[in-house]
Amino acid sequence: MGAPPLCGLPPLDGELAVDPLSRAAAADDFGHHARHYPRAVLHPGSVTDIEVMVRYCRDRRIPVAACGQGHATNGQAQAEGGLVIEMGSLRGIEVREDCAEVQAGARWSDVLGVTLAHGRTPPVLTDYLGLSVGGTLSVGGLGGATHRYGAQVDTVRELEVVTGAGTRVVCSPQRRADLFHAVLGGLGQCAIITRATVALTPAPPMVRRYELPYPTIGDLTADQRRVVGDGRFDYVEGNAEPAPDGAPGWRYTLEAASYHDGRTEPDDALLGDLSFERGAEEIEDMTYLDFADRVAPGVEYLKWTGEWYDPHPWLNLLLPDTAVDGFTASVMERLTAADIGPSGVVLLYPVPRALLGTPLPRTPDTRLVFLFALLKTATPGPGVPDADAMIAANRSLYERARDLGAVRYPVGSVPMSRGDWEAHFGDQWPVFAAAKRAYDPAGILAPGQGILA
């Protein structure tokens, strides 16, 4: 809290907040356990503001973190004694024929709102649309359509960024490809994304959503492999919930969807060869917007109960297909509902690795990889571990999974050493480290996780 004030500041189009409330807000995130107090918070009025403030910080070696919506859970968007740039003031969106030019502070809900008016949608949306474009592009951006289109980073055609040297650069696979590939999935290390050109696809008017229950993980993953393999659904995810009526154990659900135009409905024969528990399935039709934004009412409810504001020490892993059944079964056997908190969520779904073409979001080395996420909420209650205990449990599960060839999807809360990060990035580490030296020579960007400090 006690860092000296910033002096000799350049003129700005936006605002620089140095009051304690603004700084305290920027020292918090969705995890509510990591807290790093910045010296100032920039609400940029223009990209030029970002350029001049990054240069100012570069010259004085002051750390800088871009913050989208602050929904990472481990201080990823924080900067102790430094500058946090709240990207939300730059959220313009322009739709072209088959793509949208989006300022990085826009949320995916903003993007979808604009593109739907043109009958289009980003091909891959995250489950929750209240995340910023810059925030998900700096981690990867996975969702139920990833099995068809890859991660959100795989749908980006061009970026405008401000590097750690304070220089505005446009990059793409054809132009400054090294920078483009160091930024997508690059955890904010080399540059701040200010604008992204993202591909759009035609938006379906209607969606038929299936919730198919399974008694065991093995039954769920067998059918997930089958439906991802033949591509019969437009959307595939899966989750686990505590078994109903206080019974021990977990109940698994394959969540799938088929898009349609409302006139020719999908054929439910799609379900014919699947081995879910017949009679317990749920099928409903809804508009595409209601489907894409279906998490929003649950979020409003959790805000109302207050659980949304409790600590969220999340664990997100990408598991190799070869380990998924054994590892997840052994975890779920021991996991109690209290271990993830009353509003905790477990996700499990597959993604074909070949579609994840962007180098930096790291993935295991098998044809199919599974996202396995324990989205914990440390709401005080009987048997619920506190946030520190949840984080310690995350670390131990991470180590077990890593030894089986898994990697983190690095949005959650796992303490990592520099050596862990080096191992995480594997053969991409030298390339990533070289890009950091080239584009953030003073080493000021995104210090929160100590990756390349």
Does residue 239 interact with ligand FAD by CB under 6 A?
A: no
Considering only the stretches 7-15, 40-48, 59-67, 333-341, report the one whose residues sit in contact with ligand FAD under the rule CB under 6 A. 59-67
Does residue 64 interact with ligand FAD by CB under 6 A?
A: no
Q: Which one, 30 or 214, has the nearer CB to ligand FAD?
A: 30
Does residue 221 interact with ligand FAD by CB under 6 A?
A: no
Structure tokens at 328: 């997840």
Does residue 142 interact with ligand FAD by CB under 6 A?
A: yes
Does residue 204 interact with ligand FAD by CB under 6 A?
A: no
State the nearest-atom distance from the C-beta of 278 to ligand FAD, in Å.
29
Does residue 126 interact with ligand FAD by CB under 6 A?
A: yes
CA distance 389 to 133: 32
Which one among 28, 80, 101, 127 touches ligand FAD, defined by CB under 6 A? Answer: 127
Q: How far is the CA of 107 from the CAs of 93, 133, 377, in angstroms? A: 10, 6, 23
CA distance 314 to 117: 35
> How many CA atoms lie less than 13 Å away from 442 in the CB half-sphere?
17
Classify strands 156-163 and 191-199 as parallel, antiparallel or unpaired: antiparallel
Site string for ligand FAD, 66-105 (x = CB under 6 A): xxxxxxx---xx---------x----------------x-
Q: Work out whether the CA dihedral 131, 134, 139, 144 comes out positive or negative.
A: positive
Count CB neighbours of 72 within 10 A.
Answer: 29
Does residue 224 interact with ligand FAD by CB under 6 A?
A: no
Q: At what angle do helices 321-334 and 387-402 cross, to 10 degrees?
A: 150
Does residue 341 interact with ligand FAD by CB under 6 A?
A: no
Does residue 446 interact with ligand FAD by CB under 6 A?
A: yes
Q: Which one, 16 or 271, has the nearer CB to ligand FAD?
A: 16
Q: Which one, 110 or 271, has the nearer CB to ligand FAD?
A: 110
Considering only the stretches 4-12, 122-130, 215-223, 239-247, report the one whose residues sit in contact with ligand FAD under the rule CB under 6 A. 122-130
Does residue 188 interact with ligand FAD by CB under 6 A?
A: yes
Which one among 39, 52, 53, 128 touches ligand FAD, defined by CB under 6 A? Answer: 128
For ligand FAD (CB under 6 A), the number of binding residues is: 34
Considering only the stretches 2-10, 18-26, 126-134, 225-233, report the one whose residues sit in contact with ligand FAD under the rule CB under 6 A. 126-134
Which one among 50, 131, 318, 324 touches ligand FAD, defined by CB under 6 A? Answer: 131
State the nearest-atom distance from the C-beta of 411 to ligand FAD, in Å.
4
Does residue 135 interact with ligand FAD by CB under 6 A?
A: yes
Q: Which residues have C-beta within 8 Å of that of residue 282, sequence separation ≥ 6? A: 210, 211
CA distance 310 to 136: 22
Total residue length of the chain? 453
Q: 66 near 77, Cβ under 8 Å?
A: yes
Q: Which one, 225 or 294, has the nearer CB to ligand FAD?
A: 294
3-state secondary structure of 363: coil
Q: Which residues have C-beta within 8 Å of that of residue 349, sequence separation ≥ 6? A: 144, 147, 224, 236, 237, 238, 370, 371
Taking phi first (over 0 means left), then psi (-120 to 50 degrees means alpha), and beta for anything else, what does residue 250 get?
beta
Chain residues in the site for ligand FAD (CB under 6 A): 29-30, 65-72, 76-77, 87, 104, 126-128, 131-132, 134-136, 138-143, 187-188, 192-193, 411, 446
